Amino acid sequence: MILEVDKLRIHYSTRDGVARAVDGASFTVPEGRIVGLVGESGCGKTTAVRAIMGVLAENGRQAGGRVVFKGQAMDEATTRKLRWRDIAYVPQSAMSSLDPVYTVGAQLVEVMTKRGNHSRASARARSVELFDLVGLNERRLADYPHQFSGGMRQRAAIAMALALEPSLLLADEPVTALDVIVQRQILDVLRSLQQRLHLSMVLVTHDISVVAYLCDEVVVMYAGQVVESGPVRDVLARPRHPYTMGLRNAFPDLLSDALELVPIAGSPPDLREPLSGCRFVPRCPFAQPACGIDAAMSGNGDHRSACRRDSEADTLRTAALDPRTWQRSSSFAMS
């Protein structure tokens, strides 16, 4: 495993109390694989990758658990040492990793001379290589970010993250603001980079079809916790947690638009409220009183989920395919 996240807890202090943005999440990233971290907005995905990268907002702190990179438990000093060199991050908006007042080429050179130990000449040569790797013409190194299209900016942000040859890339919603054709192009760039550079990747997305298209493994997060994880094919073909079943119905397939889309009614809970038991209960069509008690992750082999009704997963999955199932809220939750 290149990365192990073990019972990670991240708290933000806010005026209205503590937000438990990541609440005991555990997952692993095998070497050379692409792991999708998926869940709706507000489930703690960005917080989890920012914590791994050691770039939490000022009001955030690690309240428990640990992050282990290549067998080494990370503390502040190691994280600082490994940041950008071994672990790199493409933030949610490409514009936030690009400075509007400098050319993209100048910014790449700056990253390599300041954060790495490149001379200006070798940084310039490497910039050409990096642009080639992400499919940008080297002539565009002289352009400013505003002269780039959204897809090109995303490619430039990826080039920036790869500048110091990291072995782990964390990409936060790399295709969200792009149209479907450009989305596929960027995902194809990521796939080819992973293969050519033997990169390991964590890809954060709210869109399960992006996971289906690109990832080898998936970690489903809900309300700061991991509710299901495993090989993508297995999890998407036979989801075991009702939240994953709901997510699968809620997004169009990147390659076809055959399925009727069925949203999951409601929204994730406010993480500043004290929560117990399965966090999905208020939105789950299958919730029962027993779900008020936390379910640990369990399962055979790599495919694991945290649902009290796991033994009935096959039956629930069939019911979940019927859109009417999602039209009624959990009667248990409503009572």
Ligand X SMILES: Nc1ncnc2c1ncn2[C@@H]1O[C@H](COP(=O)(O)OP(=O)(O)OP(=O)(O)O)[C@@H](O)[C@H]1O
Which one of 14, 137, 298, 311 is in contact with ligand X (CB under 6 A)? Answer: 14
Which one of the spans 36-44, 128-136, 207-215, 229-237 is the region binding ligand X (CB under 6 A)?
36-44
318 makes contact with ligand X (CB under 6 A)? no
Question: Tokens for 319?
Answer: 């019911």
We find the least distance from the C-beta atom of residue 150 to ligand X, in angstroms, to be: 17
We find the least distance from the C-beta atom of residue 126 to ligand X, in angstroms, to be: 31
We find the least distance from the C-beta atom of residue 214 to ligand X, in angstroms, to be: 17
57 makes contact with ligand X (CB under 6 A)? yes
- Rounded Cα distance, 294 and 307, in Å: 8
47 makes contact with ligand X (CB under 6 A)? yes
In the chain the beta strands, taken as DSSP E runs, fall at: 3-14, 17-29, 34-38, 60-69, 72-73, 87-90, 168-172, 200-205, 217-222, 225-231, 304-305
Bridge partners of residue 259, in order along the sequence: none
42 makes contact with ligand X (CB under 6 A)? yes
Closest to ligand X by CB, 63 vs 259, is: 63
46 makes contact with ligand X (CB under 6 A)? yes
- Rounded Cα distance, 43 and 189, in Å: 27
Q: Are 335 and 328 in contact (CB under 8 A)?
A: no
Q: Total residues contacting ligand X (rule CB under 6 A)? A: 17
Q: Residue 17: count other Cβ atoms within 10 Å of its Cβ.
A: 14
DSSP state of 325: G
We find the least distance from the C-beta atom of residue 156 to ligand X, in angstroms, to be: 22
25 makes contact with ligand X (CB under 6 A)? no
Residue list 231-290, contact with ligand X (CB under 6 A): 271
We find the least distance from the C-beta atom of residue 23 to ligand X, in angstroms, to be: 10
Which one of the spans 57-65, 114-122, 226-234, 273-281 is the region binding ligand X (CB under 6 A)?
57-65
Closest to ligand X by CB, 172 vs 309, is: 172
141 makes contact with ligand X (CB under 6 A)? no
Which one of the spans 37-45, 75-83, 189-197, 301-309 is the region binding ligand X (CB under 6 A)?
37-45
- Rounded Cα distance, 320 and 283, in Å: 13
Q: Are 162 and 186 in contact (CB under 8 A)?
A: no
DSSP state of 83: B
User: Which distant-in-sequence residues (6+ apart) come within 8 Å of 101 by Cβ?
Assistant: 144
We find the least distance from the C-beta atom of residue 270 to ligand X, in angstroms, to be: 7
Burial class (CB in 10 A: 0-12, 13-18, 19+), 196: exposed
59 makes contact with ligand X (CB under 6 A)? yes
Question: Tokens for 85?
Answer: 């060199």
43 makes contact with ligand X (CB under 6 A)? yes
Nearest-Å Rg of the Cα atoms of the chain is 21
Which one of 39, 151, 174, 239 is in contact with ligand X (CB under 6 A)? Answer: 39
**Contact residues for ligand X, defined by CB under 6 A:** 12, 14, 19, 21, 39, 41-47, 57, 59-60, 206, 271
